Structure 1
Amino acid sequence: MSSIAKSPLKGLRPTRMKAGISRVEDLANGQEALGPGVGAKTVYYCDGNAGNDNNSGVGGWENAFKTLATAMAASHADIALNKFGWAARNVIYCRADWFVEDLVALPQKTDVIGVGSADGRKGAGITGNHAPVNTTAGCRFFNFNFQPTAAADLWILTNATSGLEFWNCRFLSTNGATVAVSGIDTTASTFLKVIGCEFSGQFSADYIDIGAGAIDSMVIMDNIMSGGSDNGIMVTDTATVTATRRGMIIGNFIECADIAIDVNSTSLFNVFNNRLISGEAVGSGSYVIDLTYAVDNLLTGNDISVRIPSTTDITT
Structure 2
Amino acid sequence: MKALKVLVSSAVVLAMLVILLGAYTRLTDAGLGCPDWPGCYGFLKVPEQAHHIEQAEALYPERPVESHKAWNEMIHRYFAGTLGLLILAIFLFSLKQKRLLLPSLLLGLVVFQAALGMWTVTLALHPVVVMGHLLGGFSLLSLLAVYWWQLQPTPLIAVKQSLKLLFWPVLLVLAAQIALGGWTAANYAALACIQLPVCEAGWTSQLNFDEAFSLHLGYDNYEYGVMSQSARATVHVMHRVGAVITLLVVAAYAIALWRTSAGLMRNLAVAVLVLLLLQFSLGLANVVLHLPLANAVAHNFVAANLVMCLVVIGYQLHRNKESAYA
TM above 0.5: no
> Which entry has the higher C-alpha Rg, 1 or 2?
2
- The structure in which a higher percent of residues are helix is 2
TM-score normalised by length of structure 1? 0.27
TM-score normalised by length of structure 2? 0.26
- The structure in which a higher percent of residues are strand is 1
